[in-house]
Structure 1
């Protein structure tokens, strides 16, 4: 019996460790704190149970009991925060701190075991099921732990029930999963009290909870990047977005989609499309066509009195799953215009050219729209992206005049078009850091520095299939390397000299120049003279000295641009 119990506890510890390792491996870039804390706490608690079973003295049993409390005391709180996140409820920070203080209080009380009778009156080293066991008599303050367990259980039940009743945009599968987790916890508590020991029950329950949370992890996105991108495209381009699983299960849509297609109000998240609706027939047909081709495609359909253009593509959710995303544009006015032009055969060629320009205009709007989205999230750098892009354009126009650089007209056009994308990676930075009204801590700055590489990845994902590789490469370089320094002291890779792409060297000057002459919440703006002198002094260290002459030549144009730039405040007297 003893060997069986020990083997069981060892197995639970191994599974707990593997679960934590798998969570970090699969979600290392989008790891949610509460999910990770649950898995880590389970591992600590299960190790505590194993240590207690192997104990050979009362002192060791007491230590093991404290380890169990260390792993277990925060679990109810973390699980409740996860349930709130899944159910899309906001919870105030002060309340989180209050609950955290309650858990810490219980933990501190558990530390008195063996030293005081306020939590455990007595501890006796004994054996049960062939292994060491801590038989105890509870003290007057132990009721607090029972209050915590019962309180969180009731809170979980109320939250899940309320979400199931009122939150149509919450997946019912996720609600069932967390409800099952709560039910298992209740049953395990009753069984533990019945048999007089939780050593045989709780470790297994913790592991089952981990598997349930893994299921939820696969279905709940750990970051808000995609949502922010969709919201930006809605605001800037007025496009509708509708998402389905690869099996045709409805996952959700944005507000514009509800305006285009009111019947979407009858669609239920995580359910198949209603078959008797007109819009369901259109989406069903488009899904079938996309599955056959398995590649991004454009289609058109009429709904009511409007004409729509639809682009369907796959969007990765994580390493093992994806969604099918419909981007829908209202082209009613364009289609009506084309029909009128069809009566004039001599103008057909001009119509085709207009359509091409319209498509490129939409792509440019998407780029500018995402840049504005970054601006709207970063409260510290209002207007920076657009102003620094204008500075890059002025520099590029001056560089065109110098043939010694060996760059083509198309190259400089691409550089100017790509400049607004240099800070796209900031959409992947947490708001708490991005919107911080002051200087970053070293740890926060390390997180902020990742925006360069993330920006390059976003650019490639967005443009790889709709733009020429030549432009995509320039845009990626601008996003990834504009914080590199000529002397090799920059980031993300510490490149130096000619190893830094030329377009990134140009963007570096534009980025710093705007930062210097603009006011931030954590610094005052410099005068044009001060900014000019600082950049000139940094030629050869921060910036490419070959760009010095062009920067000097466009000095007056840059200053005039800022003086006439809306939203930019001058400190000149």
Structure 2
């Protein structure tokens, strides 16, 4: 080009042949599409800028939302001094168990990096419904009566309905979706003897099956108003004995194979938090 500026062109080239397939002549057209290409590039830049703005706003909403929800979680946790750092530990246990299960063919289609990240963020929601349970039941030092236990079981429904109202504002939020699954189903059991719905096997969402193991492991390891803390070994014996009844046996096997990591993680979190 005479002006030495970059040009974009659209070239159409054709060849005419005779009945014997011999080339008669070639012809073509050249169209200058420089301005169209500039407009296209500008549109892409504008679209990318909009995406970045939307992503930034979503992140702001997400962080604000997370802060509010975690404040409610900590408020709920503060009612029970014996739970210590239960929220932090169970979140880390869920993350570790999901990460190790991700390496197995059985879970390859369900667990990816996003799942591992989401379960870490969503698992602290599991007992948020306990804000609706009376202190006389939540903090009772002895065994609950049948009537009291029925009231205690409602914490999963209370938590689910609370999160459901939040989800109405954030319909496509994966964090809330998984949080609702975990909250509602983490007391279901592999053999169908859990609550609220008596789901069994893979009817129970994977996130809730992972949470069930993390929750029980931490409860066994920790001191409660009704029990002393159990050793890692005793806790593992109890969980293994419940494989196939309470827990997904494949996840229990994953826990057993990586139990030293869980043992160390429990100690590390307590050490960092000064427990």
Is TM (by shorter chain) over 0.5? yes
Please tell me whether the aligned partners of residues 487 and 542 of structure 1 are also in contact (alpha carbons under 8 angstroms): yes
- Selected match of 2:62 from 360, 368, 378: 360
In the alignment, structure 1 residue 378 sits paired with structure 2 residue 97: no
Matches of 1:356 and 1:456 in 2, distance apart? 23
Cα distance in 1 between the residues matched to 2:253 and 2:58:
38
For the residues of structure 1 that align with 2:274 and 2:232, how far apart are their CA atoms? 13
Matches of 1:351 and 1:383, distance apart in 2: 36
Structure 1 moving runs of 4+ over 6 Å: 348-351
Distance between the aligned counterparts of 1:496 and 1:404, measured in 2? 17
CA distance in 2 between counterparts of 1:519 and 1:552 reads: 22
The answer to whether structure 1 residue 395 and structure 2 residue 97 are counterparts is yes
Provide the residue aligned with 1:564 in structure 2. Answer: 268
Q: 1:314-358 CA distances to partner (integer Å, 9 max, x unpaired)? A: xxxxxxxxxxxxxxxxxxxxxxxxxxxxxxxxxx88994555433
| Partner secondary structure for residue 373 of structure 1 | helix
Once the two structures are superposed, the pairs formed by residues 405-484 of structure 1 within 5 Å of their partners are 405=107, 406-407=109-110, 408-466=112-170, 468=172, 470-484=174-188
Q: Secondary structure at the match of 1:462?
A: helix
Query: Residue 402 of structure 1: CA displacement?
Result: 2.1
Secondary structure (helix, strand or coil) at the match of 1:520 reads: coil
Counting only pairs closer than 5 Å after superposition, residues 119-134 of structure 1 correspond to structure 2 as: none
* Partner in structure 2 of residue 52 of structure 1: none
Alignment of 1:506-545 (within 5 A): 506-545=210-249
1:227-376 → structure 2 map (5 Å cutoff): 352=53, 354-376=56-78
Query: Which whole-Å deviations, capped at 9, do the CAs of 1:60-110 have from their partners, x for residues lacking one?
Result: xxxxxxxxxxxxxxxxxxxxxxxxxxxxxxxxxxxxxxxxxxxxxxxxxxx
CA distance in 1, matches of 2:185, 2:274: 26
Query: What's the TM-score once normalised by structure 2's chain length?
Result: 0.73
In structure 1, the partner of 2:254 is 550
CA spacing shift, 1:380–1:361, aligned 2, 3 Å: same
Once residues 140 and 251 of structure 2 are traced to their aligned partners in structure 1, the CA distance between those partners, rounded to angstroms, is: 33
Unpaired stretches in structure 2, ≥5 consecutive residues: 1-48
Task: State the shift of 1:552 in Å.
Answer: 2.0
CA distance in 2, matches of 1:458, 1:553: 37
Q: Distance in 2 between matches of 1:384 and 1:441?
A: 25
Structure ranking higher on relative contact order (CA contacts 8 Å, 6+ apart): 2
Q: Which runs of 5+ in 1 are unaligned?
A: 1-347
Aligned length: 222
What is the Cα-based RMSD across aligned positions, in Å? 2.3
Is the 1:371–1:421 Cα contact (8 Å) retained in structure 2?
A: yes
Seen in structure 2, the aligned counterparts of structure 1 residues 350 and 490 have a Cα distance that, compared at 3 Å, is closer
- Contact persistence 1:518–1:526 (CA under 8 A): yes
Going from structure 1 to structure 2, the CA distance change for 1:438 and 1:385 (only over 3 Å counts) comes to farther
**What SS does structure 1 have at the residue aligned with 2:269?**
coil
* TM norm structure 1: 0.37
Q: Separation in 1 of the partners of 2:174 and 2:118?
A: 8
Shift of 1:536: 1.3
Residues in 1 aligned to 2:71 and 2:267: alpha-carbon distance in whole angstroms: 25
- Larger gyration radius, structure 1 or structure 2: 1
